Amino acid sequence: SDLATYRKTYGLPPCTVRNGCFKQVNQNGATSPRPSGDYGWAEEESLDLDAVSSACPTCHILLVEANSATTADLNKAEDTAAKARGVVAVSNSWGGSEDPTELTDDAHFNHPGVAITAAAGDSGYGTSWPAVSPYVTAAGGTTLTQASNARGWDESVWSGSGSGCSTFEPKPAWQSDSGCSNRTDNDVAADADPNSGLGVYDTYNSCGSSSQCDLLIELGLAQGLDGWAQVGGTSLSSPLIASVYALAGNTSSMVYGSYPYSHASSLFDITSGSDGPLCVPTYLCQAGPGYDGPTGNGTPNGSGGF
């Protein structure tokens, strides 16, 4: 399988159904029937599985597939994932525009003791749901650049990351920024720039060497013939953050996304870059010392902030 190839390539231990590390189910929690293949979701799934494998090689992985991209089906899949035995973190590499109905749909993300992360969006400044839900840790995006400093990397806001002030969601008690009276995105961030993204193995979207394939590959709609592609977006940030939550092991006593706020000193504070040319107040789209919209409280520096 693609997951087996990825893990073998990077010297990671096998994660299979047989050894109990991997399980794939439908939105009702059954191993069959499963939804038919879909090119868009195939890459998202490969990205999620490979990101979790890279950040937490010993984590057990449950892949829950919704029947469709409707909110009702995604909500059902969310509940199934969060209620599964042994689950401590759930990642969501999807999102959409805010709508008043989200206040009702938020209930499907209210699972105390489980860290639920969601991608902040890949279209620059602006909010998306479910990332804005107060029950979710909103994962913004950064750009990593190799550097000669002690860390070995410089990190700044990825210009495509979503962020902002929610239109409908109330401000949770653990947020104290004064420029947004509602819920502010984001809480934390991780690498999302496709130029510094993750090498992903996905043969479902593999293409040949024709001019049509070249165009699809350029548009990010297909992989090369060998199945490998470098992939980014906050769809990468979300599973990376969920993996760190799992590694930290604090979710059973956690109040939703509050932990990074009370442990911000354990994160890398991102102070440069923006995801939009204009916003008021500016911290909603521009990084600076301390909390800001695009990167929240910062990026993982080990697991101490989670």
Residue 9 CB-half CA count within 13 A: 14
Return the pLDDT at 210: 57
pLDDT category at 105 given cuts 50, 70, 90 is very high
Q: Which helix (H) or strand (E) holds 74?
A: helix 71-83
Instruction: Give the residue-averaged pLDDT of 81-89.
Output: 97
Task: Copy the structure tokens of residue 228.
Answer: 């490998």
CA angle (301 as vertex; 295, 305 as ends), nearest 5: 75
Percent of the chain having pLDDT more than 70? 93
pLDDT bucket at 37, cuts 50 / 70 / 90: confident
Phi, psi of 230 (to 5 degrees): -95, 120
Strand bridging mode 188-191 / 198-201: unpaired
Per the model's pLDDT, the better-predicted residue between 36 and 236 turns out to be: 236
Look at residue 212 in the predicted model and tell me its pLDDT.
64
- What is the reported pLDDT for 209? 55
Phi, then psi, of 145 in degrees rounded to 5 = -135, 130
Tell me how far apart the alpha carbons of residues 19 and 146 are, in angstroms, rounded to a whole number.
37
Does pLDDT of 267 surpass 60?
yes
Q: Cβ(125)–Cβ(276) under 8 Å?
A: yes
The answer to whether residue 217 scores a pLDDT higher than 70 is no
Q: Where are the domains of the chain?
A: 66-197+232-300
129 beta partners: 96
Q: Is the dihedral of CA 153, 157, 160, 162 positive or negative?
A: positive
Answer yes or no: is pLDDT of 219 > 80. no
The residues, any chain, with a CB within 8 Å of residue 85's CB and separated by 6 or more, are none
Residue 43's pLDDT band (boundaries 50, 70, 90)?
confident
- Quote the CA–CA distance of 32 and 25 in Å, as a whole number: 7
Task: Please list the helix, strand and coil fractions of the chain in percent, rounded to the nearest 5, in that order.
Answer: 30, 25, 50
Residues 6+ positions from 291 with CB-CB distance below 8 Å: 177, 264, 283, 297
Cα 227 from chain centre: 22
Return d(Cα 224, Cα 242) in angstroms, integer.
28
pLDDT confidence bin for 12, thresholds 50/70/90: very high
pLDDT at res. 221? 61
Among 147, 151, 185, 152, residue whose Cα is nearest residue 168: 185
Tell me the β-bridge partners of 190: 141
Residue 177 has pLDDT above 80, yes or no: yes
Cα–Cα dist 82/303, whole Å: 21
If pLDDT is split at 50, 70 and 90, which confidence band does 216 have? low
Residue pLDDT, tens place only, 230-262: 999 999 999 999 999 999 999 988 888 899 999
In tens, the pLDDT along 180-212 reads 999 999 999 999 999 999 999 998 866 655 566
pTM of this prediction? 0.93
Please, what CATH class does the domain formed by 66-197+232-300 belong to? Answer: alpha beta
226: pLDDT confidence band, cut at 50, 70 and 90?
confident
> What is the CB neighbour count within 10 angstroms for residue 263?
15
